[in-house]
């Protein structure tokens, strides 16, 4: 369960790249570096207040 914490955080926060977090977590999460990268991706800003339109 601890293995998928970055993925759970990403989907709970509604991060735009939650699918990418899942893929990184699934395939590289077994390494400490991959898990930390997935966690950083999940914790980054959700871009709600971006002044630029998409």
Task: Give the pLDDT of residue 19.
Answer: 95
Q: What is the pLDDT of residue 47?
A: 61
CA dihedral sign of residues 26, 32, 34, 38: positive
Tokens of residue 4, six digits = 């998928």
Question: How many C-beta neighbours within 10 Å does residue 39 have?
Answer: 19
Rounded to whole angstroms, the Cα distance separating 25 from 20 reads: 8
At 8 the pLDDT is 96
pLDDT in tens, 1-48: 899 999 999 999 999 899 999 999 999 999 999 999 999 999 987 665
Question: Which pLDDT score is estimated for 45?
Answer: 73
Cα gap 35→10, rounded to integer Å: 13
pTM score over 0.85: no
The confidence score (pLDDT) of residue 49 equals 58
């Amino acid at each position: 369960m601890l293995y998928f914490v970055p993925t759970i955080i990403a989907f709970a926060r509604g991060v735009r790249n939650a699918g990418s977090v899942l893929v990184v977590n699934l395939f590289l999460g077994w390494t400490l570096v991959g898990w930390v990268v997935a966690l950083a991706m999940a914790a980054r800003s959700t871009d709600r207040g971006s002044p630029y339109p998409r």
